């Protein structure tokens, strides 16, 4: 599956150092799920490389949720260990 920014929520399953979205984003929260080991990680940054959220896998491998995110400009997911997925819930 490829990254999907067309629907709600946005689903990111492939890491990239490139900007996935350049505009402003108002996010309710961000979810990390689908990982299979507690050593797996995911990092989400804005277009300037400022960290929005970082997730580290945990046992019992349940989905993790960020706290309220609100506004940030641009989206980069430079680190995402497969098969994990990031879901961004847009307001």
Nearest CA-CA partner of 53 in 63, 61, 44, 64: 44
Does the pTM of the predicted model rise above 0.85? yes
The answer to whether residues 84 and 34 touch, using CB atoms and an 8 Å cutoff, is: yes
- Residue percentage of the chain with pLDDT more than 90: 91
Nearest CA-CA partner of 77 in 4, 5, 7, 13: 13
pLDDT of residue 88: 97
Query: Which tens digit of pLDDT belongs to each residue from 70-81?
Result: 899 999 999 999
Nearest CA-CA partner of 13 in 39, 34, 36: 34
| Residue 1 pLDDT class (50, 70, 90 cuts) | low
């Amino acid at each position: 599956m490829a990254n999907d920014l067309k629907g709600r929520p946005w689903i990111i399953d492939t890491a990239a150092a490139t900007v996935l979205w350049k505009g402003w984003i108002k996010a309710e929260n961000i979810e990390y799920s689908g990982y299979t080991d507690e050593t797996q990680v995911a990092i989400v940054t804005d277009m300037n490389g400022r960290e929005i959220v970082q997730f580290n896998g945990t046992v019992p491998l349940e989905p993790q949720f960020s706290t309220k995110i609100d506004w940030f400009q641009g989206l980069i997911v430079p680190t995402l260990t497969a098969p994990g997925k990031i879901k961004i819930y847009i307001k």
